[in-house]
Structure 1
Amino acid sequence: MSEPACPCGRLDAAARPLPFARCCGPVLDGAPAPDAEALMRSRYSAFARGDEAYLLASWHPSTRPAQVELDPATRWLGLAVKRHRLTDADRAEVEFVARFRSGGGRAGRLHETSRFVREDGRWFYVDGDVG
């Protein structure tokens, strides 16, 4: 039996979906993300898995809300990373499109350019522009 694929959709060198345990799983379990794209992918996986605690922990304290309340009826359907770029040694942007289906069955997409910062070797989500 094969391991479940990671919700973020990252592929291995043979274009096969990476298992959660070899992709976002370690980051959600506390390992530092190697770059801003990996953190963004792990946050998408946290949305897909309903992991509100991880979303808060990976959000920079300067912009972190007091709480995150996810709608358990929302289903996250796929992620496409459009662009990942460093803006300096400790700042980066990731543009992505995430597809979802709301509890009422309505399909939607979130297109965002997110900003990230690295502090003490860990990446954090700061904010983003939805477009």
Structure 2
Amino acid sequence: MSPSCPCGSGALLAECCGRYHTGAPAPCAERLMRSRYSAYVLGLTDYVVQTTLPAQRSALDRDSIAAWSASSTWLGLDVEASEVMGGVPEHAFVTFVARWHDGATEHAHRERSAFVQSGGRWYFLDPTVPMKASRNDPCPCGSGSKFKKCCSAYL
């Protein structure tokens, strides 16, 4: 029997975030965000990287992601809001609080994360990773729009 999903949905892992971890596309930004939290809990560093906008992946520190994931005791996730902004490509925000213990201190991190849908998949827009595009360049999400009119507006 599959364990409960770490994302807090109350569903079994295999019926919830587990299907996204094994390749099914998340149907919305909130499901992607929940599956990313679950990936941190489960130590699925590759999934965290693969669900970040492809143009930002090379700048991610895989070792740091893996170390933080492994050294933390994950205490829960609370989703406060999910806003679909629409547009082409579709963008969304998910506001959440993630809680964890690092061996010394309990932490709570509140964030309003941005997401974009590209090629039928949702991706996290990481605000800590600069995009290599100027305002008038094509957007790195592949939309064909200028960066300033697309993902730049959500970072």
TM-score by length of 1: 0.86
Cα deviations across residues 96-122 of structure 1 (Å, max 9, x unaligned)?
000100033x10011000000000110
- In the superposition, relative to structure 1, how do residues 19 and 6 fare at CA in structure 2: closer, same or farther (>3 Å)? same
One-letter amino acid of the structure 2 residue matched with residue 63 of structure 1: Q
Q: In proportion to residue count, which structure has more strand? A: 1
Is 2:23 aligned against 1:30? Answer: yes
Aligned to 1:42, the other structure's residue is in SS state helix
CA–CA separation in structure 1 for the residues paired with 2:126 and 2:86: 17
Is 2:84 aligned against 1:86? Answer: yes
One-letter amino acid of the structure 2 residue matched with residue 101 of structure 1: H
Percent sequence identity is: 40
Cα deviations across residues 69-93 of structure 1 (Å, max 9, x unaligned)?
2322211110000000111141000
One-letter amino acid of the structure 2 residue matched with residue 80 of structure 1: D
Aligned to 1:63, the other structure's residue is in SS state helix
Runs of 4+ in 1 over 6 A off after TM superposition: none
Q: In proportion to residue count, which structure has more helix? A: 2
**Alpha carbon RMSD of aligned pairs, Å?**
1.5
One-letter amino acid of the structure 1 residue matched with residue 79 of structure 2: V
Higher-Rg member (1/2): 2
Unaligned runs of 5+ in 1: 11-16
Which residue in the other structure is 2:61 paired with?
A: 67
TM-score by length of 2: 0.73
How many residues were matched structurally?
Answer: 121
